[in-house]
Amino acid sequence: MCQLNYIHCGKCGKVYSREEFQKLNDQVEVRDKQRIVYKSCSCGYRFWDDRFKYFRLFDKLTIKTPFGILNIEISTVHLEINHGTDEKPKWYETLITCFEKFVEYEKIVRYETELQAQEGHRKIVEKFKNFDFQLKPQITYTLEIDLTDL
Ligand SMILES: [Zn+2]
């Protein structure tokens, strides 16, 4: 559940209510002949534009299994918008992805603090490196229908 009521600065950690955020002055910048409008925190952090600047963890793992090679990407980022609840905000998330012919996996884990995000990311990487996961067979069916008699 995405809560649009609170916005979090990715540099100083200040939390703005939606009303406070709307009151921030629009800053205009021309970059590559494009006019860019953004709001910035009192610490200088530019919302949206700086979202990956102060916190981003990324690992790409290649793991050999008896069924083939898994290429797994683990990306942990700061979310400016609260993806938790008002009581328990989630400002960070890890996205785990693996798309192979024989296995598809996509999972999101969210955290409240940067420290939890760092720790979560590290543990996920460790689990994959230690082969602390299972590859389970999945049964699929194909549909066949005789349409030659129509
Ligand atoms: Zn700030």
Which helix (H) or strand (E) covers residue 118, if one does?
A: helix 114-129
Ligand 1 centroid distance, CA of 46 (Å): 8
pLDDT tens column, 70-103: 999 999 999 999 999 988 999 999 999 999 999 9
Ligand 1 centroid distance, CA of 44 (Å): 6
pLDDT tens column, 125-142: 999 999 999 998 888 899
> With bands split at pLDDT 50, 70 and 90, how would you rate the model's confidence at 60?
very high
Ligand 1 centroid distance, CA of 15 (Å): 8
Q: State the average pLDDT for the chain.
A: 93
Does the global pTM surpass 0.85? no
Ligand 1 centroid distance, CA of 47 (Å): 9
Residues 6+ apart with CB under 8 A from 70: 61, 62, 63, 64, 98, 100, 103
Ligand 1 centroid distance, CA of 33 (Å): 27
Q: Report, as an integer, the average pLDDT of 61-72.
A: 95
Ligand 1 centroid distance, CA of 30 (Å): 22
Place of tokens 């030659």: 148
